[in-house]
Each structure stands twice: as C-alpha cells, then as structure tokens.
C-alpha cells in the first residue's frame, strides 16, 4: 500500500486552478496504490492562506511550506522540498503546466524515480498504474507502467476535469523547507516578464478566441473587441507569436499552452498539426478562414469561409445587438 502526493501550484499569491486537474488524476490512480493522497503547497508569503482552499477535496492532509525565500519560483529551490515530502509517497503528481514540466522531472531525478509526463489518462490495472501519453502531436497514444518504488507524473490539463470540493476539511500541517542543493547556489532569480491582463487566464478560460499570422499588425484590433464581447481569453498560433503580432504567453499549441475551453474560436488559423494538438480537446470549435481547404475545418464544429477582417467585426456588432436586445 502506498500514498500519493499532489503538488499544488501557487503563484502571485494565489492558488492556481491547474492544481485541481492533478487531483483528479491522482484520484483515478489511487485504487492501484491502495492508500490516501496528500496535497503539498510550496511558496512564499500567502501560501498558508491559499492552503485553506485545498482542504475540501478529500486529501488526508494538506502540507504547506511557506518561506520568504520561495517567493519567486526556481526549480532548484523548490525541488528539494517536494522531493523530501515526496519520498514518503508512491506517486508524486502535478499538472503539466510550464511549472509542472520544469519542476517534476527534477523531483524525479532526486527521488531516482521513473517519470511519465503530460499524461492524458491513468488507470488502475491489476494493482499497477497505467499511464496514457500522447505521441506525435497527439495523433497516437502510448501506454506505459513505471516500475520504480516512487513514480512521478504530470497531468495534461485539457484531459482531466478539475476536481470539485467534496466536503470535509483536511488538516493543514506545516513542513520545513529542505536545504537547497549545490545547483541552487548557481541560480539566481532575476525577473519575470509576463503579460498582465484583466482577461481570464488562457488555461482556465471557458471561452478562448485565437488568432493566426494572417491578422498581422491588426491582431489586437481584431481580437480584443470579440474577446470583450465574449468575456474570453486571447490566444494565438505559434506563427503569430513568432512574427511578433502576439506575445509568447498567448501561444496555444504543442509547444505552447494546452487548452480545452467550452468554446474556442480559431480565426485566421490554418490548423497546423502543432496548433491542433493544443486545442482539439475544446468542447466546441468555431473556425473562420478564407481558405475552404484549411485543415482547421476538419475538426471544427462550425466553420465560416470568409474574410476575417469583415467577418469578425460583423460578428462583434451582432453580439452587441444581442446583448442590447
């Protein structure tokens, strides 16, 4: 019998909603472990307060390490604490966000543990955990089982529904920060350049409007009015980001952010396989493109063959009429 550990994500003084997807994955894996699961929150000031948001998800206990030196994330400073707590568990899991993909492989190395990253599903088969992982930009899936005493895995956010509170109140316990290793001495946090926006975070949004390189310098002129009307987050293809029309934080795709909103608009996006890999889990996909043979139409629920510079402003005006009606 073994227990599992969910590593929560904490940034800017707030608990990240991505944590709830990792909880779902761990609950699916628990029958193979036979034990309970704990949640670990590591961070700077505000971590203890945020830990209170995790007490209703059925965890045996919520562990929190709050330390001023952890206010700014670096894997070299976080990994020792996660590994120290994780060594008492059979599975250590986190959502495959930018932080999760950076932190958990290092934790696995410290624990001498096998690692399964970006999992699309897990199942308990014959007392073992089987991990389903996307391959070839999601066009195929591989299945694997890990044989080390401790296993480490990350959950693809778009493939696991967020866990919902189930009542109860898990006890909250403090854990000490583990001493950083030699690598931490060579790493210094300098600054974080990120896009600040009043809009929903891309990976948490229910509605996303994404634009491609075809919009060019008018990217925000076209995309922002539609996002405003829909209360949506704004995304972009890699081509649009590489061309400088949109910030890198907006990139959706295999090498960007993986999203699965309720509604996804692909505007001026042809549908390269790398982009589709990052958004094909969306519940409803609407595509606007002037090329009737664009691959994006093959996966869209609704498609409009039209000039986006005419179609999108017309859509915005119609949305405004519907709201005022």
In terms of domains, do 126 and 242 share one?
A: no
CATH code of the domain containing 11: 3.40.50.620
Do both 63 and 119 map to the same domain?
yes
82 and 177 housed in the same domain:
yes
Same domain, 109 and 254: no
Question: How high is the pLDDT of residue 193?
Answer: 74
- Of 43, 37, 45, the C-alpha closest to 62 is 37
Q: Which two tokens stand for residue 11?
A: 């940034």
CATH number for the domain that contains residue 309 = 3.40.50.1220
194 lies in some domain: no
Per-residue model confidence (pLDDT) at position 47? 94
- What are the CA-CA distances from residue 231 to residues 60, 198, 259, 261, 263 (Å)? 37, 10, 16, 13, 11
158 and 96 together in one domain: yes
State the residue range of the domain holding 143: 2-186
160 and 99 in one domain?
yes
| SS3 of residue 116 by DSSP | strand
Q: Are residues 167 and 316 in the same domain?
A: no
94 lies in some domain: yes
Q: What's the confidence (pLDDT) of residue 167?
A: 80
Tell me what pLDDT residue 12 has: 85
pLDDT digits (tens, 9 = 90+) for 95-115: 999 899 999 999 999 999 999
Total tally of structural domains belonging to the chain: 2
Regarding pTM above 0.75, the answer is yes
- pLDDT for position 126: 80
- My answer on whether 150 and 175 are in the same domain is yes
Closest CA to 275 of 223, 212, 209: 212
Per-block mean pLDDT, blocks of 10 residues, the chain (325 long): 94 91 96 96 95 95 95 94 97 95 96 96 91 85 95 94 90 94 85 76 92 96 96 96 94 90 96 91 95 96 97 95 85
Give the pLDDT of residue 216.
94
**What CA–CA distance (Å, rounded) separates 262 from 275?**
17
Angle, nearest 10°, between helix axes 75-86 and 98-111?
A: 50
308-324 and 219-230 helices, crossing angle to 10°: 30
CB 286 within 8 A of CB 319: no
């Amino acid at each position: 019998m073994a227990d599992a550990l969910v590593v929560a994500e904490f940034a800017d003084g707030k608990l990240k909603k991505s944590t709830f997807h990792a909880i779902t994955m761990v609950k699916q894996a628990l029958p193979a472990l036979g034990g309970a699961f704990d949640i670990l929150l590591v961070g700077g000031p505000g971590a203890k307060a945020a830990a209170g948001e995790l007490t209703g998800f059925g965890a045996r206990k919520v562990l929190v390490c709050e330390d001023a030196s952890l206010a700014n994330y670096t894997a070299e400073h976080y990994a020792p604490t996660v590994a120290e707590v994780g060594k008492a568990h059979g599975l250590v899991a986190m959502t495959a966000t930018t932080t999760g993909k950076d932190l958990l492989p290092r934790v696995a190395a410290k624990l001498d543990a096998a690692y399964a990253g970006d999992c699309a599903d897990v199942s308990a088969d014959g007392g073992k955990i089987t991990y389903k992982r996307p391959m070839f930009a999601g066009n195929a899936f591989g299945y694997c089982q890990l044989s080390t005493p401790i296993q480490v895995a990350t959950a693809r956010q778009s493939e696991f529904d967020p866990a919902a509170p189930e009542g109860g109140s898990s006890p909250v316990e403090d854990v000490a920060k583990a001493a950083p290793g030699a690598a931490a001495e060579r790493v210094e946090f300098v600054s974080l350049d990120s896009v600040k926006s009043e809009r929903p975070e891309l990976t948490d949004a229910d509605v996303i409007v994404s634009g491609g390189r075809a919009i060019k310098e008018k990217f925000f002129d076209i995309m922002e009015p539609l996002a405003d009307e829909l209360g949506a987050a704004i995304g972009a293809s890699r081509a649009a980001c590489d061309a400088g029309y949109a910030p890198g934080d907006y990139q959706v795709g295999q090498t960007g952010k993986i999203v699965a909103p309720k509604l996804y608009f692909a505007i001026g996006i042809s549908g390269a396989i790398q982009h589709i890999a990052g958004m094909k889990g969306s519940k409803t996909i609407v595509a606007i493109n002037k090329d009737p043979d664009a691959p994006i139409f093959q996966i869209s629920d609704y498609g409009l063959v039209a000039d986006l510079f005419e179609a999108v402003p017309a859509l915005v005006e119609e949305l405004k009429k519907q709201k005022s009606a």
